[in-house]
Every structure is written in C-alpha cells, then in structure tokens.
Structure 1
Amino acid sequence: MSFYSTTPRAGAVPPLPNLAGTFVDEGYLKLEQLISSDNFIQIYKALDTTTDTHYSVKCTRTDTPPPSRLTEEFSIHQSVSHQIGVATLNRMFEEDGRTFMILNPAAGTMGENITKFGMYVDRPDRIKGAFIELVEAVTECHHAGVYHRDLRPRNIWCDSRGWGLRLANFGKATRKAESDEFGCGRPAYMSPECADTTRGSYSPRESDLWALAVILFNMVTGSNPWRIADFADASYAAYRSNEDTHFIETCHLTPAANDFFRRCFASQSEQRPSLEEMAVEVLAIDRFSLAHTFTVHSRGQVHSALLEVHNVNAPDLRFVDRAKRSITTRERFAKKVRRA
C-alpha cells in the first residue's frame, strides 16, 4: 500500500484566518504581514512593540496538530535552536485557541528564491554554497539526534542572496532512529520508504538525505523530479525505467549531475551517498545543467532581470561557519560530517 493518494480528506479542518494587522501576546506583538500559509500553518512578520524588534512568528491551531505534538515540536526545535543553520526559536505561547512560536526573523525562503526568482538555476557556485550550508545544518541536527522529516525549500529560511540558510518548521521532526509514522512531509520530498506503508518502518535519517537530493534538484532545474517516489506516479515510473539517461534527456542535466542524482535516488537506501559524500561530490561538479544559459524560466516567465539584481558571487569550496565567525574549508567540513 502506498501513501500516494489524490482523494481529499474527509472532515478537513478549516484554514486559519489571516491575522495580519492584529495584536497578540497581550497586545505586545503586532502581526504585520502574512509571509506564508501552508496546511493550517502560518508564518508572519511581526513587531515587538516594546522593543521595536522584528520576529518571524509561526501560528497554528492549538488542537491541530494535537497539543502533545506541538510540545514535542517546541522541545525538539529548541534543542537544536543554537546549532548552525537552524532558525532560532525564542519562546512559545497560546492565545485564543492558537499556538504562536516566536523565531528570529527571516528575509525569505529558499522556495521563493527558486519559484519566483530562479536564483540558483545555472548558477553552480551559488548552488554549491547554498547546498553546503544546507548539508551542514542537517549534519548538525543529525549529530544531535534530530531528524527533520519535512525538508523542502519552503521550510528553509535564507537571506535575500539565497544564503544564510536556516532550517525551520520542526513540526514533523523526530528523535527516533526508526519510525513507523509514514507520510511525513510533502509527498514530492518523501523517500520511497517513507511513502510505502507496507515496509513496517523506515529511517528518518535516510529520508532527510533523500529530501536533500530533491531540494538540490529544485535548485538546479526549478522543478520537482516527480510528485511522489512511487510507481503510481508516472514521472517516477519513467525515471525508474531509464535511470541512466532520464534526467539528461528530460532536464538536460550534465553527466556529472546525472550520475550524482542517480546515486542519491537509488532504490536501495544503502546504495545512496552519505552526507559527507553528497557534499564532496556536489563540490566537484563544475556545471549541473545545460538547459539554461543566460536566462531562467520560472512559471513561464523570463527572470533574467531579476538574476542581474541578484548576481552575487557565491562561495565555491568554502562557506561561512556563522556560529564560529570563520571560514570552513572542504577538509574541515568533511571532518565535521563524519560525526553524524
């Protein structure tokens, strides 16, 4: 049995109202702008009126998910909140049947940079810099015994240049090395094991690595490889029938990028690269795609002007270790990821 389904759920809970312009936290916090809304979760840009400090605020219903799950989310997120590449979680409070989590502010999300700006497409140095930051963040979480299970561009906060990545939304996160809770996260980013309920259990660690590969695919192509990693999905079935050249023929990937994704999307998890191997292999790729040269097409529109605005040189074989205020080279990074 597969998690794949197009049937709407019965008795769905109505979405949250737009609270932009209202005050919460006993009137001290103004929700200035709704940044994103997804599956009964809202992210607001908010202002603390007592200090003139801006925050990002996550809003959910107190009963959806259950209170125990919200408490677990807060506990897990707070345990890694100090880590490199994780959004800082300050506090949580309940008000009027809603739960609010107060986080340090974010300029935007990787999802916006991919879908609106095409910021990474045909920019190999920028792809490498962002991906290495992402791998380091996941490595730190895994080393702390935390597995996100909902990694996707919308849950990755970043600055206006597409860097300074921070993992957010730990609503599906777990500390379990093996899980029997299937269907966690968005279908397009689920590993085959997570999507297949007949398996009995799956590895959240391996599921995170699969999602990382899909996110890299998003950055390279501006699209998803499939709706879900299940043979009921035509795109996934087409890939499995021609793994050697499918992405070269359909997405114009370079042979080096194609070989990397073929390893990441191996049907058996033990054949997939580790976090360390993913980082080293991505850094060694000179170019990921031949589909775009001077312009980027996103949602059918050319965004070359936007690319000119965001044309900033990204780090290639090194990245900023923000917590230590230093530069971490490939060799030092390799030592760090071996801990996970």
Structure 2
Amino acid sequence: MHASSSIPELYDHVIDNGRLQFIEKLGEGAYGVVYRAVDLDSPTSSRNPDPKQYAVKVMLKAQPRTRHVRYQRGEIAAHRSVSAHPNILTLHKVIEDEPYIYLVMDYCPGGDMFRHITERKTYGGKTDLVKKVFVQILDAVQACHEQGLAHRDLKPDNILCMDESGSRVVLADFGLSTSSDRSSTFGCGSSYYTSPETIGTDFGYRPYDAKVADVWSLGVMLVNMIAGRNPWTSATMEDQCFLRSMTKPGYLQKMLPISDEAVTILQRIFTYDPKMRITLPKLREAILKVKTFFMTKEQLAKSHRFAQIAARSYFQKYYSFTEEDYKEMNALEQAEFGRRENLVEALVVENPTNHFRLVDRVGSPGMPSLTNSDSDSDAESIGPVTPARNAVGSETLVDVPLLKDGEDMGVPVVPTVAKKRRDRPFGSLVQFMERFAL
C-alpha cells in the first residue's frame, strides 16, 4: 500500500499560519499527494483579481531512523540545491506539522509535457518549438550535473509547462536523484526511459554513471517530442524494438517520421556503450544546428508505411495524408513482426566514425535481482509525477533542516507544477504494432 493512500482528503486544509489553503488535488504518487493552493494573504486588484497559487506536495513524515527518512531528506536537499535555476521548478519552502511535511512549489498551469505530447500534440511538426523546449530541458539537466546531481527519472511527466503554450518548461521531481558518482541502484526510473546500464541485466549489474544515463533518457524524450511515441518498452535484449533499433541501421526511420539530422543525433545518444555517449554540451550544440527534426512531406511519401501511420496519428494536419494513402497498410509484411529474429548474442554501439560494429554481450544470467540491499522495489517516483514502479536508491544521504509551520518563504512566487497519475505512458512501438496488427 502506498503511503499516499494514508493521507486523507485535504480540501480546504490551511497551512502556514492560515496563509495557504488547499483547493484542488493535482495528483498523487507513492509517498505524496499534490494540491493546488492559494495564498490568502496575496494582494489582489481589479487588474489581478486572482490570488497567487502554489503546488504543495504533502508527504507523511517518515519514521525516524528508517530508509524512507533518507529518501525524503535526500529529495528535499537535491531539489533545494538546484531550485534557483530558471528551468527547474522552484521549491519555495519546506514546512512541517504533525504528521505531514509540505513542499511549497510553483504551480504550473500548463500541466506537464506528457499532456502536451499525447493530448495536444503541441510539438508535432514544429522544429523551432522542439528546439526551444529541448534546450531548456538540457540546460536544467546540465545545471543538476554541475551540482553533482543526476536526476534519474527524466521523462515528459517530469517536465512541467509554465503556460498553455508548452514553450516554457521546468524540470521537476527529484525523488530518485543521486549525488553518487557511481550508482549501484538498478531499475531506477521509468522503464521506457532507462538506459541499458541502469537496468543492469545485460551489464552484469556493474556500477554506472547516472549522469551519463540521464543523457539516454533525454534521447527517448526527444523521440517523444518528434514522433509522439516511445522507441521501445525497455532497453534490454528482451525487447525486439530495442534490439532492432540497435542492430538495424535505419530501423527508427522505418518506424517513425524522424529526419536524417535527428537520427544522427539519436545515434550519438543511444550508444550501448555508455563511454561513447554524447555529452550534454555536445548534444546542446547539435540540437541548435538542426534544420528539421521531421521528415518532409516528400520524404514521408516515399517512406515506409509504418512511419506514415505514426506521422498521421501524431500530426495529421501537418502532413495532410488521407485514408487512401494507407489502404495498403494491412498488406505489409505482418509476418516480419510476428516472430522474433535470431539475433547474435551481441548488441550494437556507435563508433567515433558513426558506423556500427558488433560487440560482445556483457553481463551474465544469475546476477542479483532488483530486490537487493540498495534498492526498494516497492518505491515509486513521487510528487507531481508518478511513473511506473521503480527501484529507489539510498545513495543520497543529506540531512535537511525543515522549517516550522509559519516561517516566511523569503522568495517571490512565480506561477508554475503538477500531475495526475498514469498507469502507463503513451504507446511504444510494440503497442503501436499490436494496435495495427502489424
């Protein structure tokens, strides 16, 4: 049972000596519930009739001398250390009473990037907007890394939009972050976005650099923004979309309407060998040089039907294809996707000249499972966002002084966060193929 289920409804609940009043539940996770709150003391006028708003994350206080205490304090310390960055969600205040801890943060009226991708299709066909937003995300992650912090749960759910346009974003939720140079927590994050070394099964569960793993997650997010889909369900040898993406040059463009420029960048991100992965500064530089992230209509007309279908579902208006363009869809090679290929015990990594070479599969069966002493298989990313079940590391152990109820925030409020629970993210290529019986 999640601890958040033990938190009663707190509508109209007032904290901070009567200053903040809860008015709406925005979302909940494993250990917290997020409410929208209004500042009853904020001045109003005819020009600005509405009081200031915040997102307040409510957490049950962890029992003393437990691992959960370390998680709570680690999350707060991590968020505070980077909160001043313009592309990171501002944490204004941490207060406590019995039996709760309250994290007072900016409220984001634009919701999260997940919503903008899946419901509003905000970024489809808009290279300048994708570039503008993705660079903001890169800058936020770079700021974390410069503070010695790896986020470890990068995904659209954790990118919050300052307004309805989806053009100004901030990074949120530091519940899985770590300051360790080498992490030994495996399966940490959301499966669609975790790197092969983070999963650990094909790497012999060797300690990994979580900052480098963040770059992989950014690559999956870039695919989300360009194509509205996940490239695979899990970056392991058990996932046929992942295997084909690694072993078959051109596979991503076969399935998704991604430009040549974007594919070149993704090849530098999705390197099976973490040491060969592109750095954040180089990635930022490459993103700024892109002319288009999307296939042109002419390229798409000549592309594989799978890419055409994905384009139609994500931004039909941009391409203006008709149903007639897809009448041959069911005649495609269905058998190709109804069987698993006999792949060699190898995976592909990108070498410095951007060619592909096979490397021996690393790791071995029989290594320790996720439920080891450094992980909590029942824990979940908490706060404004709620991913699939994750292992949460116990590596960030920072003592954080909490403020008592009523202490002054000391910083101005800028409108901004929040999130509703999702059981699963938008479709992966596997789900996409199943839907169309490909």
Q: TM-score, normalised by structure 1?
A: 0.77
Cα distance change, pair 135–49 in 1 and its aligned pair in 2 (3 A):
same
One-letter identity of the residue aligned with 1:84: P
Aligned residue runs from structure 1 range 1-340, under 5 A: 15=5, 19=9, 21-25=11-15, 27-51=18-42, 52-63=51-62, 66-95=68-97, 97-107=99-109, 108-159=111-162, 160-196=164-200, 198-242=204-248, 244-290=249-295
* Structure 2: gaps of 5 or more residues: 43-50, 301-308, 319-438
Deviation (angstroms), 1:240 = 2.2
- For structure 1, list consecutive stretches of 5 or more residues without a partner in the other structure: 1-10, 306-340
Shift of 1:78: 0.6
Identity of aligned residues (%): 26
C-alpha distance in 1, partners of 2:27/2:316? 22
Please tell me whether the aligned partners of residues 251 and 291 of structure 1 are also in contact (alpha carbons under 8 angstroms): no
**Cα deviations by residue, 1:136-163 (Å, 9 ceiling, x for unpaired):** 1111111111111111111111222212
SS for the counterpart of 2:291 is coil
Query: What letter corresponds to residue 247 of structure 2 in structure 1?
Result: S
Distance 1:276 1:230 in 2: 27
Partner of 1:318: none
RMSD (Å), alpha carbons: 2.9
Give the CA deviation at 1:81: 0.9
Aligned residues: 293
- CA shift digits 1:194-252 (9 cap, x unpaired): 1115322111110111111111111101111112111122321222231x111110002
From the superposition, tell whether residues 187 and 125 of structure 1 become closer, same or farther in structure 2 (CA, over 3 Å): same
Q: Comparing both chains, which one has the higher relative contact order based on Cα–Cα distances under 8 Å and sequence gaps of 6 or more? A: 2
The answer (yes or no) to whether the contact 1:253–1:291 under 8 Å persists in 2 is: no
1: CA distance between counterparts of 2:154 and 2:135?
A: 15
| Residues 127-184 of structure 1, C-alpha deviations (whole Å, 9 max, x = no match) | 0000111111111111111111111111111222212221111111111111111222
Structure that is richer in strand per residue: 1
Give CA-to-partner distance per residue, 1:294-327, whole Å, 9 cap, x none.
Answer: xx9899687859xxxxxxxxxxxxxxxxxxxxxx
Q: 1:13 to 1:87 in 2, by over 3 A?
A: closer
Mapped contact 2:7–2:60 kept (Cα < 8 A): no
Bigger mean CA offset, 44-53 vs 144-153: 44-53
Q: Which amino acid aligns with 1:82?
A: A
Match of 1:316 in 2: none
Counterparts of 1:188 and 1:60, CA distance in 2: 27
Say which SS state the counterpart of residue 207 (structure 1) adopts.
Answer: helix
Contact 1:93 1:100 (8 Å CA) reproduced: yes
What SS does the corresponding residue of 2:192 show, helix, strand or coil?
helix
- Code of the residue aligned with 1:136 in structure 2: it is D
Please identify the structure whose Cα radius of gyration is greater: 2
